[in-house]
Structures are given as structure tokens and as C-alpha cells.
Amino acid sequence: MNKFTPGPWVWVEEPELIGSEMPKIVGANGELVCDFGSCEQYYPTEGDPPSGADKYLMVAAPELLEALEDAIQYLEPLLPDEALVPHRAVIAKAKGES
């Protein structure tokens, strides 16, 4: 069973939709993935939530993980194990296994 919130994830900034001035990331099933209501903890100098490239990377995370897992399955028979070590390490990091 997958312990992650199902993708695709969506970046929501509209206060009337989320009941807050701070943006949130919401999963495909409407489940809250991340609430930036306490951004001071993560962005102490600015107090602002991530924007630009950061937010696009965050909402693409589920699809990036799935694409990398699919690519590894395809590449395993074609490449030596040591060639896939960095890819497996990134997957483990994304899953909190390293």
C-alpha cells in the first residue's frame, strides 16, 4: 500500500477555497498534503511560502517519483546495477528510507 497522498497534487492559493491567506498543496482526493500557514518555521527571514520553481517541483513530486520508478524497471535489464545506484538512492530518499 502506498503511504503517500495520491497525485496529482495541486497548488492552491485562492483564500476562498482554502480558508486561509497561505497557500496549500492538495492531493487528487482533496486531502491536504502541505499547509504553508506556518512558513516562518521554514522561511524565517521572509515568512513567505515557496514560489516559482519550488512550488512546481513540489506539486510534481508524485509524478516524478512514479516516473523514476517506472524508468528503473525498464532500465534494470539493460544496465549494470551500479549504474542505477543513484536513482535507487533518490527513490529511497523520497520514501524516507535513507
pLDDT tens, position by position, 48-89: 666 677 788 888 999 999 999 999 999 999 999 999 999 999
Rounded to whole angstroms, what are the CA distances from 56 to 37, 78, 79?
A: 18, 31, 31
pLDDT category at 25 given cuts 50, 70, 90 is confident
Q: pLDDT above 70 covers what percent of the chain?
A: 74
> Taking the CA atoms of the chain, what radius of gyration do you get in angstroms?
16
Per-residue buried b or exposed e for 42-62, using 16+ beta carbons within 10 Å of the residue's own CB: eeeeeeebbeeeebeeebebb
Query: Cα–Cα–Cα angle for 14, 3, 21, nearest 5°?
Result: 15
Q: What is the pLDDT of residue 42?
A: 54
Which DSSP letter does residue 66 get?
Answer: H
